[in-house]
Structure 1
C-alpha cells in the first residue's frame, strides 16, 4: 500500500473537495456488477453536482474576452493635475487587463465587426482603481436611458435567434447621435488585427484633483506601442470560421514567447472653467475633444507580461467597475458614466456573488477595513473591530482626504430635469462623423468605409429602414451617402 498522497503510478492522489482521498475516478458504486447505482456514492454525486453548476451567467455585454496581468509604470510627472498614488513619478503598479468584444456571446468569433472592450484594473496602494473603456473614444449614445434598448438591437432577434442587421440599422437610423460611433465601427478600426494592435480609451470624461485641491477634466487615451492595425471585412469573415479565438490566441502566444505587448497612457486635460462654454458638451460620450484644443500628455506605460494561471478564475470572474475611484480621481457629469457607477457593481453581485471582491482577480493588495459582513461565499473578516459604526471598540473610521473631497461639480446641480446635451454651439450629431470622414480618413479608408457600410446594409430586409439608413449617411456626408446608396441599389434615397 503506497503512502497517502503517493499512488503506485507516482501521480498525486485525487481528493474530494474536502481533501479526502477519492475512491475512484473510473467506476461508480453499484449493487453488483450490473445493478443500480447507489446514492451514497458521495464522490460521484459531488462530481455530477459540481459539473451541473460550473458555469456562471455570462456577461450580457463583453461576454467574449481574454486577459493578462502586467505592470503600469509612470514615465512623466503629472502631479500638477492629480494626487492619485498610481500616477506619481516613478510609481510601478501591478495591473490586470481584459479585452473583449461587446455584442457577441462566449463562443462568438473574435473577428465580428464590433467595438472592443478595454478594461484595466490597477492594484494601487490606495485600493483598486478600475478604468473601464473601449477601443473607441466615443459611444453610440449619451444618455443611459437608451443603453438597454441599444444593446438589444445589436443582439439576436428574439424570434429567430439570429443576428439581424435590420434591427441594428433601425436603431442607428432612429438615433442620430450614433453617427460618430457608427462611422468608427464601419471604418478600419471596426475589426482590429489583434488586441495588441488596438488603442484603448477611457471614453468618458473624468475629474483629476491635485494635492492642492485644483480640479481639471481629463480624458484617457491608451495608445498601442505595437501600432494600429486592422483586418479587412474579408479577412475577418475568413478568420471567424478558421480561427474564431484568434485574438485570444494571439495575446497569449505573444506573452508566451516574451513579446510583451505594451500601451502608452496619455491624457487630455481641460481646465474646469473651459467646460461651460466649450464648443461641444465635454461630457457628451458621442463627442471627442479635438487634440488641437487639448493636446495629449504622456502619463506612463502598461506592459502585459503574465498569462493568468486559470482562465475562469482570473478572466471570467474579473469584475471591473467604474465606481472603483481612488483619491485624486473622480467622475464627471457624463450621464453614461454616472449610470455605470451603479450598473457594473450590480451586475457583478448578480453574476458572481455579493462577495465578488474577495475573488483573486478582484482582491486589492491593501488591507480591506469595511463594515460589510456575511453573505454567500464570505471568506474573511475584513474588519478586526466592531461590526457597526460608530463604535467604541476600535473599528475603522473614514478620513478626510485633503483636496479630494467629493465636490466634483463647480456649481449646484440645480433642479431635477430630463435634459439633453444641447447647450453648446457645435452640439450636432453628425459634425464629428463628417469631420472624421473628410479630415481623418484618406481615399482608401473612405473606399473601405463605403464597402463595409454597403455590405452591412445589404442585409437590411425592411425598405423603410434601408431608406432611413441611407438618409442617415447623407446627413453625415452627401457624397458618401450617394456612394452607399448606389452600392445597395437605392437610386432615389429619401
Structure 2
C-alpha cells in the first residue's frame, strides 16, 4: 500500500498534478500554497557548493585497530587491539566545480571521519603528503589562480604559473601534481595523507607530533594525460561510478593506516621545520608504523544528505589528539568549520552524517537554522535537552570534563609576521625528481610544458629558475619540452 502524499506540514495532498487556477484557462491563484511550497523548495534544493573540493564521493566503513597506541594517546579509537570504529570517507577533486570531470589533473581530497566514543575525529587531507603553501594567509590567492579568470571565465595558465613562480614553496607539490601520480585512476587506487602535523598526548601528559598515512591495499594506479582526456569525454563521473560499484559488488576497498611519530622535544633540533606543510618527514628518521586497516563497505542511501552535506573539518578533534604550530593547519581549524556554517547552517552538526554516532552531543548552543533537527543515533538534539542554555549552572546541565584537558604547549618568541622564505624550497622537490626514471621525468617535462608554454616569457623564466635550483636537469628538460611544443 502506498504511503499518503502530504505537504511539508504533514497535510494530505489531494491533487499534485494541477495548479489552482481561476477557471480551466485562467491564471494561477496566489493562494495555491501547494504550488508555492513546491517551487520555493525547488529553488532552494541546492546549497552553495564548496569553494574547493566541490566534486566528491563518499562511503561508510570501519577502522580496525591492529596496534595499541595507549603509550602515545588517550584517543579511544587508537587504544585496544581489535577496536572497531565506524568511519565515513569523502573523496574529492579540488579545483573543479561540482559538475567537473573526475579525471582532471588535480590533487584529490581524502577526508576521513572516525565516529569515536568521545566524539568525531576528522582527518581532512589529500592524496599527497605535502601542499603548495605553508601559510594559510596565501590560500585564497592560490585558489583564485586555480579557478576561472574573473574576466574571461576560463581557466588561466598565466595566473597559475605566475603565482607558483612567485611562491617557490609550491615546487614540491607542483612536482607531485605534474608527475605520473597527478591523475589517480580511481579513488580506490590512491593513497591518502593527513598531510599536516598533528599531536598525540597520553595519560602522563606527554606530547608527540604525528602524521597520518593511508596506504591503498588495491595498489597505486594512475592515468596518463591521453587516457584522462579520453575518459573525461566518455564518463566524467568515472571515479564515483567505480567507488559505488565496487562497494555494491562487495569488493570493499581497504587502506593500511600508518603513523609517523616524533617526540615533542625532537621538533626543536630537527634539521627541517616539522610543521612546514611543504615538507615530508623522511621515513629513515621517523618510520611508518602500521596501526590498523580502514575498509569502506557501505554506500550512502542519499547522496545529498550524506555526501553533499558531509561537513568534515580538521577542528573536529577528540581527547588525546590535538593541533600543532603548522600555520596552514591553524588557518584550516577556523576556515573549514566556518565554510560549513555558511554552506549548511549553524546547526550542521545535527545532521545524521555529521552528528557524533557513538557519543551524545551536549552543549549550550541554541537556536539558528535547523535547530532541534536531532541526531537519529541518540533521539534528541541539544536544543531539546531542556531549558538551561548557559553554564555554569545549578540545574544539572552538562559539566566540564577536566580529565581531558590537553597538556600545555610551550610557545616562545615575539609576535610578528615572520618571513618564511628562509625555508629550503628546493631540496625535497629535487630529491623527488631524482627518484623518477627517465620515462617518468620525460612525462613530467611534457605535462609541465603543456601549460607553462601558455604563460608569458617572464613567468616562464621565473619558473625555470626554480626548477634549476631543484635540479639543473629538471629545468633543462622543461626548456626542451617547451621548445618542442
User: Normalising to structure 1: TM-score of the pair?
Assistant: 0.93
- Give per-residue Cα distances to partners, 1:189-234, cap 9 Å, x unaligned: 1100000001000000011112222211111101111011100011
Q: Map 1:425-440 onto structure 2 (within 5 A).
A: 427-438=423-434, 440=435
Which residue in 2 is equivalent to 1:168? 160
Which residue in 1 is equivalent to 2:414? 415
How far off is 1:269 after superposition? 0.8
Q: Map 1:188-267 onto structure 2 (within 5 A).
A: 188-267=180-259
* Distance (Å, rounded) in 1 between the aligned partners of 2:353 and 2:428: 38
How far off is 1:127 after superposition? 0.6
Which residue in 2 is equivalent to 1:291? 283
SS of residue paired to 2:265: helix
Does residue 372 (structure 1) correspond to residue 371 (structure 2)? The answer is no
How far off is 1:26 after superposition? 2.0
Which residue in 1 is equivalent to 2:141? 149
Q: Is the 8 A contact 1:284 1:421 kept in 2?
A: no
* Distance (Å, rounded) in 2 between the aligned partners of 1:223 and 1:430: 26
* Distance (Å, rounded) in 1 between the aligned partners of 2:195 and 2:471: 24
- Give per-residue Cα distances to partners, 1:360-392, cap 9 Å, x unaligned: 110112111101111111015514472111211
Q: Is the 8 A contact 1:385 1:393 kept in 2?
A: no
Which residue in 2 is equivalent to 1:304? 296
Which residue in 2 is equivalent to 1:489? 483
Name which of 444, 452, 464 aligns with 1:449: 444
Q: Map 1:1-150 onto structure 2 (within 5 A).
A: 6=1, 11-89=2-80, 90-150=82-142
* Distance (Å, rounded) in 2 between the aligned partners of 1:311 and 1:412: 44
Which residue in 2 is equivalent to 1:472? 466
How far off is 1:114 after superposition? 0.6
* Distance (Å, rounded) in 2 between the aligned partners of 1:60 and 1:306: 27
SS of residue paired to 1:189: coil
User: Normalising to structure 2: TM-score of the pair?
Assistant: 0.95
* Distance (Å, rounded) in 2 between the aligned partners of 1:154 and 1:165: 9
How far off is 1:257 after superposition? 0.5
- Structure 1 unaligned blocks of 5 or more: 1-5
How far off is 1:415 after superposition? 2.4
Which residue in 2 is equivalent to 1:273? 265
* Distance (Å, rounded) in 2 between the aligned partners of 1:395 and 1:155: 47
* Distance (Å, rounded) in 2 between the aligned partners of 1:46 and 1:371: 33
Does residue 351 (structure 1) correspond to residue 352 (structure 2)? The answer is no
Which residue in 2 is equivalent to 1:326? 318
* Distance (Å, rounded) in 2 between the aligned partners of 1:276 and 1:134: 27
Name which of 153, 158, 163 aligns with 2:150: 158
Which residue in 1 is equivalent to 2:389? 387
Q: Is the 8 A contact 2:21 2:28 kept in 1?
A: yes
How far off is 1:15 after superposition? 1.8
- Structure 2 unaligned blocks of 5 or more: 375-380
How far off is 1:41 after superposition? 1.8
SS of residue paired to 1:227: coil
* Distance (Å, rounded) in 2 between the aligned partners of 1:15 and 1:239: 43
How far off is 1:450 after superposition? 1.3
Q: Is the 8 A contact 1:199 1:221 kept in 2?
A: yes
Call closer, same or farther: CA 1:228–1:367 in 2, change over 3 Å.
same
* Distance (Å, rounded) in 2 between the aligned partners of 1:14 and 1:178: 55
* Distance (Å, rounded) in 1 between the aligned partners of 2:484 and 2:221: 33
Q: Is the 8 A contact 1:23 1:43 kept in 2?
A: no
Which residue in 1 is equivalent to 2:454? 459
* Distance (Å, rounded) in 2 between the aligned partners of 1:35 and 1:384: 51
SS of residue paired to 2:403: coil
* Distance (Å, rounded) in 1 between the aligned partners of 2:53 and 2:311: 12
Name which of 387, 400, 403 aligns with 1:401: 403
How far off is 1:167 after superposition? 1.0
* Distance (Å, rounded) in 2 between the aligned partners of 1:401 and 1:340: 27
SS of residue paired to 2:181: helix
Aligned length: 474
How far off is 1:284 after superposition? 0.3
Q: Is the 8 A contact 1:318 1:362 kept in 2?
A: yes
* Distance (Å, rounded) in 1 between the aligned partners of 2:148 and 2:169: 23
* Distance (Å, rounded) in 1 between the aligned partners of 2:62 and 2:17: 44
**RMSD between aligned residues:** 1.6
